[in-house]
Structure 1
Amino acid sequence: MFSFLSCKSVLRSSAEQIELSDMNADENAKYLMVRIKEIAKTGYAFGHQDATAYGIGWKNDGELYKSDVNEVTGDFPGVYGFELGHLELGHTQNLDTVNFQLMAKLIKTAYEKGGILTISWHPNNPTTKKSAWDPTSSVSHILEGGVLNPKYRGWLNRLADFLNSLRTKSGKAIPVVFRPYHEMNGSWFWWGNTSCTSAEFKQLWRETFDILTQNHGVHNLIYCYATDAVDNKSEYLNFYPGDDYVDMLGIDLYHKKTTEDYIELLNDNLGMLAEIAKEKNMPFALTEGGLDGVKVENWWTEVLDKNISNKGLSWALVWRNASLNHYFAPFVGQLSSKDFIRFKKLPHVLFLQETSEIR
């Protein structure tokens, strides 16, 4: 007990010295940053998107608290990913049919248990009203002075209301890592590299940051800039809005081609990102990744862990378990489930039990 309290006291003390891009960041946001940095000293946390919202053959109805990861290993992920797409439209559920009230409840539960929360946002195309994956140019229209700027400000108002509502039972803010407008170096989103210039993207990020922090008093966020796979540092930093607007770095790396190709991608891109993170004194993570269907039996220990464990990242998050045709974490009886248990037992791989102790 003494060692735990001593560690907690040291981390809390360290949090007082932390400076985030939001100059008025909540003390819990600063404390989360300390935890994120501390994790990387021990190993890396395992994360899963929508881990407790649904899985293979089940969906949370508000009464459940389970995850496919827990069903296989007996423990929950250390990092939980959630998605805000369609919140901007005033809908009751997100683009993956997760009710926002339920999401808030799941976020609170994960936080109380010692988990780390990260939130992405795939807003609809504001011009065409189609999905985020409609690359019709729109960024210039929602910037200050643009014809759709009032609409965008309305979107951020809804976003701020949700983020500010994330509170503990005692009323303290729940901190989250916010990862908006990710994979901007790709061409598939309306904020992507074929749909806006790097200058427009940077302005969008900065204006979004300013409106959330200054206009709406959102101070519980750690801002994470995350690209898709890149060829070099120049490509990674092409859309980077500046150190004053970013707290953490990320990259999304999926196993799409051969295993050999993915191993090379992990080593090249994470090695490069580690260098940038060191230069900027920022933590970094594999913010999305995985192999759809996990068709390689020993993928967790031989492909993923062996090629990320020595890089210094804070976590690796795999994408969601949507259906038997689209999943990234094993479930009971799945081909890689035994290897996943071996992965969980590695001393440097942190699930909820280990992550919760770093606080």
Structure 2
Amino acid sequence: MRYLILLLAFALPLASAAPRDDKTQALYDYLLGIWGNSTLAGQSDLTWRDSIDMAQRVHDDTGKYPALMGYDFMNYYDATEGDGRHQTEEAIAWHARGGLVSFHWHWRMENGKFYTKETPFRLPAADYRKIDQAIDRIALELKRLQDAGVPVLWRPLHEAAGGWFWWGTSREGYIALWRHMHERLTQTHGLRNLIWVWNGQDPAWYPGDDVVDITGYDVYDHAYAEAWQKTKQHGKPVALSETGHIPDPAEGPRWLWFLTWNDGAGPAGVTDPNNFWTGEHHNSNAHKRKVYNDPRVITLDRLPKF
């Protein structure tokens, strides 16, 4: 009987971290269906320079477009930069082409900064008024995406355990903030287009199964096996939520997706440490073509219609 109970438990679908509309549920079901068998190719947009088309740079080098593009709300709240404020429009346009959309948020607070060394804001927070003001601003963009029929792989409060962002200055404060954001976006604002992706980088910072759909890890040092072991224990699908080097699909764990970080140093083709896609500092052109043409890797042309 004990073994039968265990088998039934694994056969049951994963509990939802939030109510979803039909299109978002269809995407989540698809992700659960490919998990362990295929990997989505993903690319982060150059989110502070609207004129750069990272998806096109991927296509120019591989002949394929990524299945997933990653965007950022970094300059939508308390920012002085005029660039990087067309992420919502870019995401809607990418979705219209059949692509999947991920969003993270370099959350500026207090003096317009997000790095711990540059802002005095700390957790835990006794007063949530400033926090709610920021969340409410981003909720407007998420609502625009929902109205356009765009499901969002929502990855807020990333890399918290590293401590370099203000939301990583307290484990208890971070978990409380995650759960507060979840409640505010799903209940106060009624958003139904979010699939919650957690990558706090430390199992001790996990906010709970009821508020997480997918777990992820950001890897820039090739320590994939260690990252996998840390993240898989939660029993959720595991994504390589940011990376510099694109893993070989023939080796190591089967990530739900990989998201290569963006470029930051000039024109396409320039080899530079700040260019995570273009050039050959982090990935050779031959390796990019190999990965993007591997049958285990899902690119834009292989995605179903949601």
Give the TM bin, normalised by the shorter chain.
0.7 to 0.9
Query: Is 1:71 paired with 2:55?
Result: no
Query: Is 1:212 paired with 2:185?
Result: yes
1:189 maps to 165
User: For the structure 1 residues 341 and 138, does the alpha-carbon distance in structure 2 shift closer, same or farther, using more than 3 Å as the test?
Assistant: same
User: For the structure 1 residues 180 and 52, does the alpha-carbon distance in structure 2 shift closer, same or farther, using more than 3 Å as the test?
Assistant: closer
2:104 maps to 120
Aligned partners of 1:85 and 1:121 also within 8 Å: yes
Separation in 1 of the partners of 2:225 and 2:282? 27
Separation in 1 of the partners of 2:80 and 2:113? 14
Separation in 2 of the partners of 1:223 and 1:344? 26
Please give the per-residue CA displacement for 1:181-240, whole angstroms capped at 9, x wherever unaligned.
111111211122xx21x2211111111111111111222111111033xxxxxxx22111
- 1:133 maps to a residue whose letter is Y
- 1:124 maps to a residue whose letter is R
Please give the per-residue CA displacement for 1:245-294, whole angstroms capped at 9, x wherever unaligned.
11110000103xxxxxx2xx2122214433x24xx3x2110000114xxx
User: For the structure 1 residues 335 and 244, does the alpha-carbon distance in structure 2 shift closer, same or farther, using more than 3 Å as the test?
Assistant: closer
Aligned partners of 1:227 and 1:252 also within 8 Å: no
Separation in 2 of the partners of 1:154 and 1:36? 32
User: For the structure 1 residues 53 and 191, does the alpha-carbon distance in structure 2 shift closer, same or farther, using more than 3 Å as the test?
Assistant: closer
Aligned partners of 1:120 and 1:178 also within 8 Å: yes
Aligned partners of 1:90 and 1:158 also within 8 Å: no
Separation in 2 of the partners of 1:18 and 1:212? 21
Separation in 2 of the partners of 1:71 and 1:269? 31
Aligned partners of 2:249 and 2:294 also within 8 Å: no
CA RMSD of aligned residues (A): 2.8
Aligned partners of 1:52 and 1:65 also within 8 Å: no
Separation in 2 of the partners of 1:39 and 1:158? 34
Please give the per-residue CA displacement for 1:12-60, whole angstroms capped at 9, x wherever unaligned.
xxxxx875211x3222221111122223254101111006986xxx924
Query: Is 1:284 paired with 2:238?
Result: yes
Please give the per-residue CA displacement for 1:304-358, whole angstroms capped at 9, x wherever unaligned.
43444xx23210111011215411113599971133112222111121112x237
Shift of 1:66: 5.4
SS of 1:140's partner is coil
SS of 2:196's partner is strand
Q: Which of 276, 283, 296 does residue 328 from structure 1 map onto?
A: 276
Separation in 1 of the partners of 2:229 and 2:129? 41
Q: Which of 17, 20, 42 does residue 25 from structure 1 map onto?
A: 20
1:176 maps to 152
With structure 1 as the length reference, what TM-score do the two structures score?
0.72
Separation in 2 of the partners of 1:110 and 1:307? 30
Separation in 2 of the partners of 1:269 and 1:177? 20
Shift of 1:90: 7.0
Separation in 2 of the partners of 1:121 and 1:186? 16
SS of 2:160's partner is coil
Q: Which of 83, 91, 94 does residue 72 from structure 2 map onto?
A: 83
2:116 maps to 134
Separation in 2 of the partners of 1:331 and 1:59? 19
With structure 2 as the length reference, what TM-score do the two structures score?
0.83
Query: Is 1:357 paired with 2:304?
Result: yes
SS of 1:117's partner is strand
Query: Is 1:316 paired with 2:263?
Result: no
Separation in 1 of the partners of 2:54 and 2:258? 22
Separation in 2 of the partners of 1:53 and 1:133? 16
- 1:86 maps to a residue whose letter is N
Separation in 2 of the partners of 1:165 and 1:92? 22
SS of 1:67's partner is helix
Aligned partners of 2:39 and 2:297 also within 8 Å: yes
SS of 2:200's partner is strand
User: For the structure 1 residues 177 and 72, does the alpha-carbon distance in structure 2 shift closer, same or farther, using more than 3 Å as the test?
Assistant: same
1:139-158 equivalences in 2 (<5 Å): 139-141=123-125, 146-147=126-127, 149-158=128-137
Separation in 2 of the partners of 1:18 and 1:271? 20
User: For the structure 1 residues 65 and 288, does the alpha-carbon distance in structure 2 shift closer, same or farther, using more than 3 Å as the test?
Assistant: closer
- 2:219 maps to a residue whose letter is L
Aligned partners of 2:114 and 2:166 also within 8 Å: yes
Shift of 1:110: 1.8
SS of 1:59's partner is coil
2:200 maps to 227
Query: Is 1:250 paired with 2:223?
Result: no
Q: Which of 85, 106, 124 does residue 99 from structure 1 map onto?
A: 85
- 1:131 maps to a residue whose letter is K
Which piece of structure 1 moves more, 67-76 or 321-330?
A: 321-330
1:36 maps to 31
Q: Which of 41, 44, 51 does residue 46 from structure 1 map onto?
A: 41
